[in-house]
């Protein structure tokens, strides 16, 4: 065989081998290849080894199946009370059908951005400024539901939508800052008043407690003083009673002794003398003694002498 023929055959074999190797594709994880054959969709290659038919098949699009994030520029929106503000959104989405994503819409990210902006304007247009600033979760949920339904034909699933920034006009921001400052000052005044009130209550309760303790001490002192006076009077009365009892006992013993001595007349005369003695203790300066008692002194001395014996 002619050497030139060998060379030609070798070149053809090398070309075929090179062509085969260049048409072998390995699809990595989280990727999908959308394949076309003669200009029409043929299949979607998943993860693994695939061989493309030369000159007939072509890779129309390489699609990432990971969850993706797109941050849209701030959009001007008008609230129900005619306040214009700037709001930018962040959309988290994932491609679920590479075929629909490739053929469903032209420039899908731009479509999501425009759809997000129009949906945001519709929702914010129904809310006032205060509701817009305090209803982020509600707005996020509404936008996500609308975007998810609208992007289903495009093979896209919207997992989450977040309002990144809400920027009201400068004059509104100044008014809000003044309002917040006034609110902080009001709360500070309330807390200060509450502290003063609590302090006055504690002081009043302390005075009240002090008065109660002082009254209790005075009462206890008065009780102790009364008990001391009572005890003194009782002891004094007992002393007087004991003294009277002793005097009466002495008188009784004296009378008994006189009776035993058969001195009844003398006793009577002695009693008369005691009466005159008591009369002498008064203010009278002169005492007239009856004649029948003049000899009583001698009799009394005799009685006393017998008692002593």
Whether 93 and 112 have beta carbons less than 8 Å apart is answered as yes
Phi, psi for 38 (deg, rounded to 5): 55, 40
pLDDT above 60 (res 297): no
Residue 263: its pLDDT value, please? 53
Continuous segment of H or E residues that includes residue 25: strand 24-27
pLDDT above 80 (res 288): no
Q: For residue 227, give both structure tokens.
A: 């008990």
Phi, psi for 298 (deg, rounded to 5): -65, -40
Q: For residue 116, give both structure tokens.
A: 């997000």
Whether 144 and 160 have beta carbons less than 8 Å apart is answered as yes
Counting Cα atoms < 13 Å in the Cβ hemisphere of 49 gives 3
Position 199 in a domain: yes
pLDDT above 80 (res 10): no
- Hey, which of 18-22, 32-36, 104-108, 270-274 has the most confident mean pLDDT? 32-36
Tell me 153's DSSP state. G
Give CA angle at 88 (84, 92), nearest 5°: 150
Domain identity same for 73 and 147: yes
Q: How many structural domains is the chain composed of?
A: 4
What digits encode the pLDDT tens for the residues 141-182? 999 999 999 999 999 999 999 988 888 878 777 777 787 888
Q: Which of 123, 149, 168 is the last residue of a domain?
A: 168
Residue 98: its pLDDT value, please? 92
Domain identity same for 144 and 74: yes
Report which of residues 41 and 287 the model is more confident about: 41
Handedness of CA 208, 209, 212, 213 (dihedral sign): negative
Residue 184: its pLDDT value, please? 83
Lowest mean pLDDT among 92-101, 145-154, 225-234, 265-274: 265-274
Residue 258: its pLDDT value, please? 61
Domain identity same for 143 and 224: no
Whether 144 and 158 have beta carbons less than 8 Å apart is answered as yes
User: Taking the model in full, what pTM does it have?
Assistant: 0.54
Position 250 in a domain: no
pLDDT above 90 (res 91): yes
Position 255 in a domain: no
Q: What percent of the chain has pLDDT over 90?
A: 17
Position 249 in a domain: no
Across residues 62-90, what is the average pLDDT? 89
Residue 165: its pLDDT value, please? 84
Handedness of CA 125, 126, 130, 132 (dihedral sign): negative
Domain identity same for 193 and 148: no
Q: Which of 45, 62, 79 is the last residue of a domain?
A: 62
Across residues 270-296, what is the average pLDDT? 52
Position 12 in a domain: yes
Domain identity same for 43 and 95: no
Domain identity same for 90 and 156: yes
Phi, psi for 187 (deg, rounded to 5): -65, -40
Across residues 258-278, what is the average pLDDT? 57
Q: Which of 118, 22, 130, 30 is nearest to 77 (CA)?
A: 118
Position 251 in a domain: no
In order, the DSSP letters of 34-70 are EEEETTEEEEEE-SEEEEPPTTTEEEEEEEE-SEEEE
Position 139 in a domain: yes
Position 238 in a domain: yes
Domain identity same for 198 and 178: yes
> Domain range holding 276?
261-282+289-308
pLDDT above 60 (res 305): no
Q: Which of 214, 243, 272 is the last residue of a domain?
A: 243
pLDDT above 60 (res 205): yes
CA atoms of 166 and 83, how far apart (whole Å): 12
CATH number where 145 lies: 3.30.479.30
CA atoms of 159 and 145, how far apart (whole Å): 9
On the 0-12 / 13-18 / 19+ scale of CB atoms within 10 A, 27 is middle
pLDDT above 60 (res 296): no
Domain identity same for 112 and 31: no
Domain identity same for 78 and 124: yes
Report which of residues 308 and 244 the model is more confident about: 244
Domain identity same for 199 and 142: no
CA atoms of 134 and 114, how far apart (whole Å): 24
pLDDT above 60 (res 106): yes
Report which of residues 292 and 189 the model is more confident about: 189
Orientation angle between helical segments 264-280 and 170-260, nearest 10 degrees: 140
Lowest mean pLDDT among 77-81, 99-103, 292-296: 292-296
pLDDT above 60 (res 96): yes
């Amino acid at each position: 065989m002619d050497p030139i023929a060998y060379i030609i055959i070798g070149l053809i074999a090398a070309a075929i081998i090179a062509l085969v190797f260049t048409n072998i594709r390995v699809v990595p994880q989280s990727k999908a290849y959308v394949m076309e054959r003669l200009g029409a969709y043929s299949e979607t290659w998943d993860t693994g080894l695939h061989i493309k038919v030369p000159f007939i098949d072509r890779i129309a699009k390489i699609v990432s199946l990971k969850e993706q994030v797109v941050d849209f520029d701030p959009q001007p929106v008008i609230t129900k009370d005619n306040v214009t503000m700037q709001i930018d959104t962040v959309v988290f989405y994932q491609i679920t059908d590479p075929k629909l994503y490739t053929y469903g819409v032209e420039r899908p990210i731009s479509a999501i951005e425009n759809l997000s902006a129009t949906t945001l304007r519709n929702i914010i247009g129904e809310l006032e400024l205060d509701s817009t600033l305090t209803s982020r979760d509600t707005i996020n949920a509404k936008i996500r539901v609308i975007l998810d339904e609208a992007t289903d034909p495009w093979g896209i699933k919207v997992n989450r939508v977040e309002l990144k920034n809400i920027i009201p006009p400068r004059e509104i921001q100044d008014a809000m800052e003044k309002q917040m400052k006034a609110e902080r000052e009001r709360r500070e005044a309330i807390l200060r008043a509450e502290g003063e009130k609590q302090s006055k209550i504690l002081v009043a309760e302390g005075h009240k407690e002090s008065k109660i303790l002082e009254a209790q001490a005075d009462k206890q002192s008065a009780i102790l003083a009364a008990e001391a006076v009572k005890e003194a009077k009782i002891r004094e009365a007992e002393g007087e009673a004991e003294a009277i009892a002793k005097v009466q006992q002495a008188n009784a013993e004296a009378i008994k002794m006189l009776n035993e001595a058969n001195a009844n007349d003398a006793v009577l005369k002695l009693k008369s003398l005691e009466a005159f003695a008591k009369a002498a203790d008064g203010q009278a300066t002169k005492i007239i003694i009856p004649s029948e008692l003049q000899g009583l002194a001698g009799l009394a001395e005799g009685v006393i002498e017998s008692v002593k014996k």
